[in-house]
Chains A and B, each alone.
Chain A
Amino acid sequence: MPARESPVISSIKFVWLNVWFWTVAPIFSLLFFLTSLVYIWLYHLIVRDQRKTSRLVRGTLNYYGLGILKCGWPLIRVRFVDYGPADQPPFVFVSNHPSSSDGFLMAYVWFEAVQMLNIWPNKVPIMRFIARQAGYISVREMPFEQFLAIGSKLLSEGCSVIAFPEGTRSGNKEMGPFHGSAFRLAQHNKVKIIPLVLAGNRKMPPRGSALLHPGRVVVSKLPAITPEEYAGMTSFRLKNVVRDLMQQHLASHPV
């Protein structure tokens, strides 16, 4: 059993992490945003293909996510574990949602993907602008049929969809009940479902705070659940089977 860290050391690390992160991350974000804006705009002017531009924006966001996570290094360390490396896209990814850093952690998935967003990111103008350019889906602002049409089009183009079916941050080890829209999208298009299990970032930051706590994060990409495996299941059963699978993984792989 590792020796318990003294409270003084823990406090110093906590303060240092937040001073460092909240100094570096805004500067990094500003520089990254301005640089990206220029090269994406130039790319779009030259290529004049919205599909290719959207792909570039999504790829750029992956780099941004990795960069933001590195702003917390070495007091925040992230490990990606792939239990199904041979799987080929497109997928519907479903992830648990312990913290507001989850969207950034999706950078580790490294497939072209759009995220299904809740309402709050769309209330921040800069995030709304970026989300729109990347084609992210504001799922609560549209009827299910519209979501199904947009999601199906993306999947047919080879772009995966990332969902947080709890809908809101759980903030603890126990996951909340799942919403079935992402599962219905997968069933409708007969694509593989990949569960993503995030562990260790519950306090990065905790719910209702902007302060980060040092620690290790593990992003686990579980093996795909194929259409053959979920054939015949109702979407209600499917979402609960996947939720149980993720909860079991979370319980058996403590960080």
Chain B
Amino acid sequence: MTDPELIEAVNSVFADSFEIPPEKIKPESQIFVDLGLDSLDVVDLVAAIQKKFNVQVRDDQRVRSIRTLSDLYNYLILIRAEQNKG
């Protein structure tokens, strides 16, 4: 999966699981403020991400520093690189 494909897949999680309109899904969008997710929605988001990318991120402390979609893209790109190394 290339970086643009990964970004597209992340965007599809927000569009499919949360029915967020495409115009709101931008790299600079803040997940809590602009997209309106709350702490419980984030649990659903993590579950959807884990399912979509077949990764375990629930206990990763780095997840806590994610604020924007761009942060999320970068985090998943990093996770993928770590998986490929391992």
Contacts and interface: CB of A to CB of B under 8 A. Distances in A.
Interface of A: 144, 177-181, 184, 234-237, 240
Interface of B: 17-19, 32-33, 36-41, 44
Contacts of A181: 38, 40
B1 to A, nearest CB: 26
B6 to A, nearest CB: 23
11 contacts: A177-B33, A177-B36, A177-B38, A178-B36, A181-B40, A234-B17, A235-B40, A235-B41, A236-B19, A236-B37, A236-B41
Q: Which of A144, A177, A235, A236 has the most CB of B within 10 A?
A: A236
Contact of B38 (A179, A234, A237): A179
Q: Secondary structure at chain A's binding surface: helix, strand, loop or mixed?
A: helix
Nearest to B36: A177
B86 to A, nearest CB: 33
Contacts of B36: 177-178, 236, 240
A144 B40 contact: yes
A235 B37 CA distance: 10
A180 B17 CA distance: 15
B40 A180 contact: yes
B33 A236 contact: no
B13 to A, nearest CB: 12
A120 to B, nearest CB: 19
The 8 closest A-B CB pairs, nearest first, are A177-B36, A179-B38, A236-B18, A180-B40, A236-B41, A237-B19, A180-B38, A180-B41
A180 B42 CA distance: 11
Q: Which of B17, B18, B38 has the most CB of A within 10 A?
A: B38
Contact of B44 (A178, A179, A236, A240): A236
A177 B32 contact: yes
A237 B40 contact: no
Contacts of B37: 236
Given A177-B32, A177-B33, A234 B40 contact: no
